[in-house]
């Protein structure tokens, strides 16, 4: 298996349920014959949907995808709480049927309204957040009582798609949110606000920034030659572009600061995608009115990163 040479780019995977994000990375490493594969934005094992993977030198771009906003489709089950705030956990409480029956649609919409916009959210204790060097879910599974601090997140859309009533109340929702928002915590907090408990029974990520699930490939169907999105393609979707001359591409590739007589992009500390005449992403730069300075360079395909 290769270590870092070979084609570089991003893969959009439609993660199946039952696999961890690390499982997906391990599978892709074998399929593309390189160990240098990373992912941006972990999905829980029960979750499905868009997982963005970087291959070889393009793993450097993952840093810029982690903080992008996300979209999810989810089903929130009202009337029961679990230890993990999702269906993988053990049931910790079940609401009395008469209490659950008293929750009408208007109450559900009102509760969701309180969880929309800029809110303070306490992440689920069973999460990948590190507490004193160890992930919270590891401490929970070791029997520790983990309490995480609230953090500010933005839920820009929390739309009810359907409400179904049986033994529980299942609410299908669409959520658009900032990076670091936990849909499981939204379900938990909605259930708590309504006094009946809540957890997520299904969760599917449908968008990361400008990239949607429609461009994703099932993991067993990966064809690197077909599915690998070039670093330049990704960078053009994320950043302003500085088109380089042949000489500028060489200089920037050597780490030199470029003098710009008249900057074609607005001055910004970064990042700006620096694209060579052959369409290759040379790297990301910060741009002033007169200069472009390297943030990082991307090695040419086939070279060691």
d(CA 291, CA 272): 12
Helix boundaries (H) for the chain:
21-32, 63-66, 97-101, 105-114, 136-141, 183-194, 224-227, 231-238, 246-253
d(CA 155, CA 181): 8
Contact call for residues 208 and 43 (beta carbons, < 8 A)? no
Contact call for residues 86 and 199 (beta carbons, < 8 A)? yes
Cα angle value 5/61/241 (rounded, 5°): 110
Catalytic, 44? Answer: yes
Q: Are strands 80-82 and 91-94 parallel, antiparallel or unpaired?
A: antiparallel
Number of residues that this document lists for the chain: 305
Say which of 14, 44, 88, 227 is annotated catalytic.
Answer: 44
In DSSP terms, 93 is beta-bridged to 81
d(CA 44, CA 135): 14
**Any idea which residues carry the catalytic annotation?**
44
């Amino acid at each position: 298996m290769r270590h870092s040479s070979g084609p570089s780019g991003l893969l959009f995977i439609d993660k199946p349920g039952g696999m961890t994000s690390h499982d997906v990375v391990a599978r892709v490493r074998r399929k593309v014959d390189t160990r240098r594969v990373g992912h941006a934005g972990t999905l829980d094992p029960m979750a499905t949907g868009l997982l963005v993977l970087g291959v070889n030198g393009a793993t450097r771009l993952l840093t810029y995808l982690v903080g992008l906003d996300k979209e999810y489709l989810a089903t929130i089950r009202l009337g029961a709480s679990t230890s993990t705030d999702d269906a993988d956990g053990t049931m910790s409480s079940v609401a009395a049927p008469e209490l659950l029956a008293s929750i009408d649609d208007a109450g559900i919409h009102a509760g969701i309204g309180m969880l929309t916009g800029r809110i303070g959210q306490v992440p689920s204790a069973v999460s990948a957040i590190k507490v004193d060097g160890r992930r919270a879910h590891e401490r929970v599974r070791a029997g520790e009582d983990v309490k995480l601090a609230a953090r500010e997140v933005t839920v820009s859309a929390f739309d009810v798609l359907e409400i179904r009533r049986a033994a529980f109340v299942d609410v299908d929702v669409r959520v658009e949110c900032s990076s670091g928002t936990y849909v499981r915590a939204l379900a938990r907090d909605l259930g708590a606000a309504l006094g009946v408990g809540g957890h997520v029974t299904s969760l599917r990520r449908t968008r990361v920034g400008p990239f949607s699930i429609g461009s994703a490939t099932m993991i067993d169907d990966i064809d690197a030659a077909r599915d690998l999105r070039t670093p330049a393609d990704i960078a053009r979707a994320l950043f302003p572009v500085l088109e380089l001359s042949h000489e500028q591409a060489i200089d920037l590739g050597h780490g030199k600061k470029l003098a710009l007589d008249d900057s074609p992009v607005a001055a910004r500390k970064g990042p700006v995608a620096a694209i060579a005449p052959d369409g290759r992403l040379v790297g990301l730069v910060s741009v002033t009115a007169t200069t472009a300075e390297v943030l990082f360079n991307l090695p040419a395909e086939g070279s060691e990163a």
